[in-house]
Structure 1
């Protein structure tokens, strides 16, 4: 149905070695992406991801999105090799600890912001000039329903995602008229390694006993799959969403309604 949706497009996907990022990279390739470059910290996971995705339309770079020099150089390398950047999917993120405000360490708080906020900012900062030069580009950032509602034990993660939502609207307001669109997607619980880590943390908190089935999953009573979130991301990245700018697409199975 969408075989040529991303024909001739050059894309970067952060956090592309696993979870939602891998699902987004996979769909971009399946839907005609000319080259999808996945950024991730884990070289071993990157190699495994390329083995699954296939090297003909996918490459990788080991990049720490919290390191400005690495981000700048990696983006310059993409442009040098492939000529441009049409698409940026900012999927890299960490949950941080599940803890009350008074028990949350400042070092953990800064670490969560370094990846979720500063990493998202740096990727936009260094990709946008190339998109603006070509009068074409589309960016999707990863917010969360936790950035919309104030759930307990999420002071780091939740507030960082609120910041991502704000940055998305700031950047969208500055662009849009120049052919560059910036939007974000807000998942709820997603069945990834991150969720397993959170469940492990919950077992040692005042939410003892939570499982994937007993979490506050919302009206659909289950976490989403990475592919279900990727469906929304790839729509926003595509020209089918060419009149969508500065929007936050909630894809949480009704979690914020519950």
Structure 2
């Protein structure tokens, strides 16, 4: 029971990684988990999937300050404290060269992936402090550690989360708030299907095969691979780890 009695908030909570992490958190003893997502349909599916657990479901856009404040406040009202804040919400944008990249898409990616993380810590830190500290976990990507052509907004956003994570780790430390980021290789879920098709419309399987060949362990990550790292960072086993970039990539960046 790695996180027995802890209360967690997960943004992007109805997506592949978010929902898998919520299930794992409950399995490992979480007392309550708030599932935050922009998608009404996704929240309904998550509600059905997590039936019987102490889960809270909140519709919110993480790029808007008033909505971030709302889900933090609602979680505190329901649970009394927050021990784990998993800032997992993210969007991939589109696949296009920089000179063709739509400005509105760039703004959307930065708004969700960067501003959403910043707002999460801005409003989440005081809640974590009230409970004596806790763990903030940020979903970044191997795209935050290297460049990839044609996904400039996504790559820029994932590099930016590292800066926010490191700053958060320094600012949170006096209040026993740890902040770390997870950097997955391609994960076998909806986002990668979108990117694969973006790189080669109608030939996504060939793109997947190419990416797979670049991973020494010979496969994409699955949602559970990332959830297991989130569990470790949420648990007391990582109590002396903060400011770290935790790579879960099957050797992709080796």
- Report the alpha carbon displacement of residue 125 of structure 1 after superposing the two structures with TM: 0.9
- Report the equivalent of 1:195: 192
How many angstroms apart in 2 are the aligned matches of 1:180 and 1:67?
Answer: 23
Gaps of 5+ in 2: none
- Pairwise CA distance, 1:209: 6.7
The root-mean-square deviation of aligned C-alpha atoms, in Å, is 1.6
C-alpha distance in 2 between matches for 1:119 and 1:160? 11
More helix by share: 2
Distance 2:125 2:87 in 1: 13
Length, aligned pairs only: 253
**Aligned partners of 2:92 and 2:204: how far apart in 1?**
18
Which secondary structure state, in structure 2, belongs to the residue aligned with residue 95 of structure 1? coil
| Map 1:1-258 → 2, pairs under 5 A | 4-204=1-201, 210-215=206-211, 217-257=214-254
Distance 2:238 2:205 in 1: 41
Q: Distance in 1 between matches of 2:158 and 2:226?
A: 16
Unaligned stretches of 5+ in structure 1?
Answer: none
Report the CA distance between 1:48 and its aligned residue.
Answer: 1.2
In 1, are the aligned partners of 2:56 and 2:75 still within 8 Å (CA)?
A: no
SS at structure 2 position matched to 1:129: helix
